[in-house]
Amino acid sequence: MAPKITAILVGIFISLFSITPISEARNMNDQGLNAKQQGIVTIAAFTAQGDLGRLKTTLNDGLDNGLTVNEIKEVLVQMYAYCGFPRSLNGISTFMSVLEERKAKGIQDEIGKEASPLPANKSNIELGTEIQTGLAGGTPARGPIYTFAPAIDEFLKGHLFGDIFGRDILDFQSREIATIAALASMAGVNSQLQAHFNIGFNTGLTEAQMKSLLSVLAAGVGKQEADNASEVLSKVISNRAK
């Protein structure tokens, strides 16, 4: 299939599954991430690092900047796929404490929408394969690692991309912002970080938004994490320009 046609199909696919249309997102966010997206960055980063003290602060900031309770819960739940159940569960527990404290102060936070039912006419693997392929730019995921351990391919398609990414509480851009922030905050995962920078661009995130994400990391998480992610991003941008 010609690259131009593939790009068009991917754009259509992403717009169908995303809450915010790509064209609208580009027009609104060419200058960088908005306050809600910045909140997702730090929430994901501190959850991945297990820094519950700073997570508590940024959870409050996220709510104050317009993230709903369900949107934050969705970020925390998604994190288990990237940093494990223990840190995801610790993040959720911390969020419960934050909400209790805010309620005691008389703060009524917006709960937000619930996830729509997943399509009844396809399995989670079928749905996940569609989503993964679309996010990857129209090319199905293949490689020796999936041949060597086919179970991981099944789990990635069926659970990560089907069960988790198929939930519409967060759009794909928000999920990639969370994923990139988490991976950038952990050591030894640059190959995955590179892949998700590419996927982020495929969802319509701009170079300005990616650099804004790195600025949030540098200011709120750590210079070392931001510098490493910046090197990875530079390679991705260079490769995509070829």
Cα separation, 200 vs 202, in Å, equals 5
Q: What is the pLDDT of residue 31?
A: 80
Cα separation, 169 vs 76, in Å, equals 12
Nearest to 31 by CA among 237, 210, 230: 210
Q: Among 1.20.1290.10, 3.30.465.10, 3.90.1150.10, 3.40.50.970, what is the CATH number of 3-116+167-241? A: 1.20.1290.10
Task: At 110, list the tokens.
Answer: 């917006």
Instruction: Judge whether 233 and 214 are in contact, CB under 8 Å.
Output: yes
The DSSP secondary-structure symbol of 117 reads P
Cα separation, 26 vs 37, in Å, equals 14
Cα separation, 47 vs 42, in Å, equals 8
> What's the predicted TM-score (pTM) here?
0.87
Cα separation, 213 vs 238, in Å, equals 18
Q: pLDDT tens string for the chain (242 positions)?
A: 444 444 434 443 444 444 344 444 444 446 899 999 999 999 999 999 999 999 999 999 999 999 999 999 999 999 999 999 999 999 999 999 999 999 999 999 999 999 999 999 999 999 999 999 999 999 888 889 999 999 999 999 999 999 999 999 999 999 999 999 999 999 999 999 999 999 999 999 999 999 999 999 999 999 999 999 999 999 999 999 88
Q: What angle do CA 110, 111, 115 make, to 5 degrees?
A: 140
Q: How many residues does the chain have?
A: 242
Q: What is the pLDDT of residue 30?
A: 63
Cα separation, 214 vs 229, in Å, equals 7
Cα separation, 158 vs 124, in Å, equals 5
